[in-house]
Structure 1
């Protein structure tokens, strides 16, 4: 998955309007806060994210994230809350991807995955709404 993320960042992309919110901005914090409950449901709290990719255009966003413990320690199978499958560590660890939509003043992780072994966001049905933040996928 990290190889795919690297390839996606090195591909020449059509000029787009998406932006990457800077560290410390309210927008970036809001997006991480939208994803945090999903990660905490799997790993428990507290946790933070290493951001591999973050794109925002208007009311839609795309993220590639790595959940970490607050001390920066990588997640391990021992961190899983009982009942969650260790399969997410089988290939490239607990990398997470999400497609977000803003609803009023709140960001919502509408589609997300953890430990995905493919680029699930490529193509339909995601392009109709998120093309501006995943142009290489559409």
Structure 2
């Protein structure tokens, strides 16, 4: 037998270490790098424009975003931003479907969105405007999005 002269427990331990190393390196090789798209890039524009359509429909006004967080691994993207009017003024939520929550101080002026890239474009998977809590904390379990996309380490 080939293994007859070897120290079998030591050999098995070495094989386990090698296997574990291969698993770690393979996982690392397939891990996506998370980036924060810079102003002026096509990627940033695509992501913001995808969410902008939904926000403008909900607030019935053209909006710009004061971006708090925009992160992507190329497959998933996360946005947290404050929407403002084209003149950089606060949005008047009393004239939107959020009026009641806003008037009861149960509304935070933040948009959060989870986007996923399909073959052609970015698609909104989850979206909220006005949530008063961290509505995105369950998204890694719910959708399989890497937590690094949602939060910087």
Give your verdict on TM over 0.5: yes
Unaligned runs of 5+ residues in structure 1 are 1-15
Provide Cα deviations, 1:44-93, integer angstroms capped at 9, x if missing partner. 2321111010001021011101111011001122442xxx1321462453
- RCO comparison, higher one (Cα < 8 Å, 6+): 1
Deviation at residue 118 of structure 1 after TM alignment: 1.3
Question: Could you list the runs of 4 or more consecutive aligned residues of structure 1 that deviate by over 6 angstroms after TM superposition?
Answer: none
The answer to whether structure 1 residue 64 and structure 2 residue 64 are counterparts is: no
Unaligned runs of 5+ residues in structure 2 are 1-31
Provide Cα deviations, 1:10-31, integer angstroms capped at 9, x if missing partner. xxxxxx8211101011000000
**Who is 1:98 aligned against?**
113
**Who is 2:91 aligned against?**
75
Higher mean alpha-carbon deviation, 24-33 vs 40-49, is at: 40-49
Provide the TM-score with structure 1 as the length reference: 0.75
Larger Rg: 2
The answer to whether structure 1 residue 110 and structure 2 residue 125 are counterparts is: yes
Higher helix share: 2
Provide the TM-score with structure 2 as the length reference: 0.68
Q: Answer yes or no: is the 8 Å Cα contact 1:98–1:111 preserved in 2.
A: yes
| Structure 1 residue matching 2:142: 3-state secondary structure | coil
Note the aligned Cα RMSD (angstroms).
2.2
